[in-house]
Amino acid sequence: MHLKFNGLQRAVHLQRFLELSQRKQGAVPLSLLTVAMVAFLIALASLFLPLIGAISWFIASVISLDSWNRQRKVVAALQMSDKHPRTVMDGVITEHGFEFTTKPAPYSWADMSGYGLSDDLVVIFQADNIGHVFPREHFATQQDWEHFMELVKRKLVQTHGKGSKKTG
């Protein structure tokens, strides 16, 4: 079986990649409210130790601000990348792996660590936060897309995205 794909890699695909790579099963990011509640409980428990409570609030604030700042920088970088030329992605997918026409070396299914999916996008991961994005729009027909999805599900373990089965 040889499935061909061809399309433009857009900033929205990279943003969806980041979202999928951050939403691992069993690794739920702490929200600002959760961090604040924990810090509040520590501060409340340390009525007799106000310095420890103040330090706890400070640490929670720094963690929250750092997380917010990183997310803001990623979004700004993605918005800027929309203004630059997009990358053309084309190649062939087989039972043994996939190959890009711009890169001479093929990628084997055995070298991949898992996959993540959303409604119209599949990300095949080589390692944490390193992977390849395959949007639905890069496949010529719905049948090619469905064959690709079946092949990915048969060859890899779902580790990210909707309905993840792998834990921790």
Query: Where residue 107 sits, what CATH number does that domain have?
Result: 2.30.29
| Pick from 29, 60, 27: nearest CA to 42 | 60
State the pLDDT at residue 166. 44
DSSP 126: E
Statement to judge: residues 122 and 94 lie in one domain: yes
pLDDT at site 168: 38
Within this chain, do residues 63 and 145 fall inside the same structural domain, yes or no?
Answer: no
pLDDT of residue 167: 40
* Predicted TM-score (pTM) of this structure: 0.55
Cα-to-chain-centroid distance, residue 104:
25
Look at residue 121 in the predicted model and tell me its pLDDT.
87
Domain assignment present for residue 167? The answer is: no
Report the pLDDT value the prediction gives residue 24, as an integer from 0 to 100: 52
**Parent domain of 58:** 32-81
In a domain? residue 166:
no
Specify whether the CB–CB gap between 53 and 43 falls below 8 A: yes
Which run of H or E residues covers position 50?
Answer: helix 50-81
Question: Where among 48, 66, 81 does a domain terminate?
Answer: 81
Let me know whether 150 and 136 are in one domain: yes
75 and 130 inside one domain: no
In angstroms, the Cα distances linking 158 to 39, 63, 71, 155, 164 are 35, 30, 25, 10, 6
Looking at the domain assignment, is residue 110 inside a domain?
A: yes
For the chain, 168 residues long, give each residue's pLDDT as a single digit of tens.
677 777 766 666 667 777 766 655 455 566 777 778 888 877 777 666 666 667 777 888 887 777 777 777 777 776 666 555 566 678 888 888 888 888 778 889 988 888 888 878 888 888 777 788 888 888 889 999 999 989 999 988 877 666 544 443
Q: Do residue 90 and residue 157 come from a single domain?
A: yes
- Whether 19 and 91 map to the same domain: the answer is yes
- What is the structure's pLDDT at 49? 66
Q: What is the pLDDT of residues 35-61, one digit of tens each?
A: 788 888 777 776 666 666 677 778 888
Count the alpha carbons within 13 Å of 153 in the hemisphere toward its beta carbon: 11
